[in-house]
Amino acid sequence: MQRDTAIFDLIGKEDRRQMEGIELIASENFVSSQVMEAMGSCLTNKYAEGYPGKRYYGGCQFIDEVETLAIERVKELFNAEYANVQPHSGAQANAAVMLAVLKPGDVFLGLDLSHGGHLTHGSFVNYSGILYRPVAYEVTRENGVVDYEMMGRLAEKEKPRLIIAGASAYSRDWDYRRMREIADRAGALLMADIAHPAGFIATGMLNHPFPWCHIVTSTTHKTLRGPRGGIILMGSDFENPWGLKTPKGAAKMMSQILDSAVFPGTQGGPLEHVIAAKAVAFEEALSEGYRKYMKQVRDNAKVMAQEFIGHGYKVISGGTDNHSMLIDLRTKVPDLSGKVVENTLVKADITINKNMVPFDDRSPFQTSGIRVGTPAITTRGMKEIDMKEVVGLINEVIMNISDDKVIALVKQKVNDMMAKFPKFTWD
């Protein structure tokens, strides 16, 4: 076969784009060479519908060991009693949980999309909003933190079957204990989607959803720095949600329901090459080096937020406890949408994403905000001092939004800066 130059040329260009630019998308990261190697391995050739020891295909003896290792490692990482490592993505993990615990038309509570929630937490264009009946809680107008009182009121009124903690654009920690009290009063299950802060939770730097949450879902490719994918977890003291006699029995039953909801409920054959890469990433995340990395991610984010504030931008909630922050552009540049800022920063090789801000008056296609995060640039080896320079460059572009000469100069500075960080610190 001739080499597919069309595709490999494009992969080469993307590789260069990733190396030359400043990557600030809060949900992205750079994986280690071992994670990449496992993902590109012969495991992609194998069909393995089912679970270790219970497959629908022969020849799964090594695949079973790979998947079992992934399960054991992620259980250790999150102190979980049950793990399913097969979800192809975070959205798939959430779909499986909803299939397991909700019936079509059932009410559930999630954070409003424009207040930081995720599509799968009840957006009307997503299965979660099409098949079920989502009710949204919000953040407060005064300080941009989750409005637990509103959540409690809604739970009492709507009697949801499920309450979801977690978000895509929220820079503060979660009060899982308080949410559990709300869930218990309403007779609801509590789920945390920790896709974004997973790395902080794994390293004990943010509140742990266990023992408060019945079920936890996550992606593996954001702060966790693994391959693109999802996981579902349950804690060691899962309590009886179904009125069964023994909590142990309930946990077993629930784990079977969740497994069936992943396969055959919402997926076919698992991506075992990705599961192998997840296992590698989990082992990396158990290391002391990863703990240091996560601390640097947070230190960088704190400095970055202060720098934005220093330049006159409004950071929602006034700072960050994690890796990300949401900037409301209306205070400093009310005429500029998030879309314009995103597109102009791309010209300077700085990648961020436009994002709705709480109480936004622009559409999701325009937005009044941007979201930025530090996981990827921290993997490249950047420290606090570099954050000042990065925010300075972003500000230069925003203040000269129509000046192509200034933007070209910033792009040169960006490329020069990134040439000083030629490697991922991991390798």
Ligand X SMILES: Cc1ncc(COP(=O)(O)O)c(C=O)c1O
Among 29, 89, 266, 296, binds ligand X (CB under 6 A): 89
* Helix (H/G/I), strand (E/B), else coil: 255: helix
Active-site choice (120, 203, 217, 219): 219
Among 166, 226, 235, 369, binds ligand X (CB under 6 A): 166
* Nearest CB to ligand X, comparing residues 306 and 320: 320
Q: Mask: binding to ligand X, 195-234, rule CB under 6 A, as x and -? A: xx----------------------x----------x----
Q: Cβ 245 to ligand X, closest distance in Å?
A: 34
Near ligand X by CB under 6 A, which window of 31-39, 151-159, 162-170, 327-335? 162-170
- Cβ neighbours for 261, distance < 8 A, ≥ 6 positions apart: 96, 97, 99, 100
Q: Does 168 bind ligand X (CB under 6 A)?
A: yes
- 6 by Cβ neighbours in 10 Å (0-12 / 13-18 / 19+) ranks as exposed
Residues numbered 229 to 248 that lie near ligand X (CB under 6 A) are 230
Identify whether 219 is a catalytic site residue.
Answer: yes
Identify whether 222 is a catalytic site residue.
Answer: yes
Near ligand X by CB under 6 A, which window of 192-200, 236-244, 307-315, 343-351? 192-200
Amino acid 372 reads V
* Nearest CB to ligand X, comparing residues 91 and 146: 91
Active-site choice (47, 181, 389, 425): 47
* Nearest CB to ligand X, comparing residues 233 and 407: 233
Among 90, 110, 129, 134, binds ligand X (CB under 6 A): 90
Residue 406 DSSP label: H
* Nearest CB to ligand X, comparing residues 89 and 255: 89
Identify whether 175 is a catalytic site residue.
Answer: no
Q: Does 193 bind ligand X (CB under 6 A)?
A: yes
Give dist(CA 251, CA 235) in Å, integer.
9
* Nearest CB to ligand X, comparing residues 167 and 382: 167
Among 27, 123, 128, 374, binds ligand X (CB under 6 A): 27
Q: Rg for the chain (alpha carbons), in Å?
A: 22
Q: Does 353 bind ligand X (CB under 6 A)?
A: no
Residue 416 DSSP label: H
Give dist(CA 15, CA 36) in Å, integer.
13
**Number of Cβ atoms within 10 Å of the Cβ of 81:** 17
Q: Are 255 and 82 in contact (CB under 8 A)?
A: yes
- Smallest Cα–Cα separation from 319: which of 145, 60, 117? 145
Give dist(CA 97, CA 128) in Å, integer.
11
Judging by DSSP bridges, how do beta strands 230-235 and 314-315 pair with one another?
unpaired
Active-site choice (127, 175, 178, 228): 228
Q: Does 116 bind ligand X (CB under 6 A)?
A: no
- Smallest Cα–Cα separation from 223: which of 416, 61, 29, 39? 29
Place of tokens 């202060």: 306
- 135 by Cβ neighbours in 10 Å (0-12 / 13-18 / 19+) ranks as middle
Q: Does 118 bind ligand X (CB under 6 A)?
A: yes
The residues of the shown chain that bind ligand X, judged by CB under 6 A, are 27, 89-91, 94, 118, 120, 166-168, 193, 195-196, 219, 230
Active site residues: 47, 49, 193, 219, 222, 228
